[in-house]
Amino acid sequence: DQQVKQNSPSLSVQEGRISILNCDYTNSMFDYFLWYKKYPAEGPTFLISISSIKDKNEDGRFTVFLNKSAKHLSLHIVPSQPGDSAVYFCAASEIGYGNKLVFGAGTILRVKS
């Protein structure tokens, strides 16, 4: 039972363009969402998060959008850089469950120069 789904296994984008990574969730009790980036042979690195009381959070080149009615969130990276090439994981946590994170399967982003 996948509660957090990243339906695109991979995405290829030209350097300088926008990368849009998508994530859907099924558990309506999730109220905190995060994006992590992971390079091969390393652990995930926190990128950005958003609480369900917001619909947008921005940090430099990274913006996360949350659509609660659609149970959908997206990560926008603009402009994309070759160093952004990595696996991106969407994660969520549920109220009352502390800091336990539920992860999607990840999307491989390749930024071509």
Kindly list the residues in this chain that would bind another protein in the complex (CB under 8 A).
4, 6, 32, 36, 41-46, 49, 89, 91, 93, 97-106
Instruction: Give the residue with the Cβ less far from another protein, 32 or 65.
Output: 32
Instruction: Give the residue with the Cβ less far from another protein, 8 or 45.
Output: 45
The Cα-based distances of 109 to 38, 55, 62, 104 in angstroms read 10, 24, 14, 15
CB of 44 to another protein, least distance (A): 5
How far is 23 from 36, CA to CA, in rounded Å? 12
Instruction: Give the residue with the Cβ less far from another protein, 47 or 78.
Output: 47
Are 11 and 84 contacting, i.e. CB atoms less than 8 angstroms apart? Answer: no
CB of 79 to another protein, least distance (A): 25
- Reply yes or no: is the peptide bond before residue 44 cis, omega within 30 of 0: no
